[in-house]
Amino acid sequence: MVQEKSGRRPRMANGEELSSEEFAARFGEGIRAARQARGWTQVQLAEAAGLSSNYVARLERGELSASLFVAHQLCTALDSDVVAIMTLSRSGLLVGARATRTRIAKSG
């Protein structure tokens, strides 16, 4: 007997539900886009977020899912938020209450 996992799955603006793997891949794409928009290397982002550069690389490739704490660390380092990061993902927009808030790639 196969049991289904309970809980809600992230939903994209078009209503598409994402698996945890798809969400991780799209979050990684957004992190990479925000980092590149700032002109940062993975090493620079890792240092700013207090993470290892290998961990950042694996997040960007979607090999790992970021915990809420790590997502917060990355978004703080990039002066952004999760919704804005997901918006940068080339795969779509995440539906959220703060979808209008996009503070990406401040120069400085």
For the chain, the domains span 20-88
pTM, full prediction: 0.70
- pLDDT by residue (tens digit) across 39-48? 999 999 999 9
Q: At 108, is the pLDDT very low, low, confident or very high (cuts 50, 70, 90)?
A: very low
List the alpha helices (DSSP H) in the chain: 20-38, 42-49, 53-60, 68-77, 82-88
Task: Note the CATH number of domain 20-88.
Answer: 1.10.260.40
99 near 93, Cβ under 8 Å?
A: yes
Cα distances (Å, whole numbers) of residue 61 to 29, 95, 100, 102: 7, 22, 26, 23
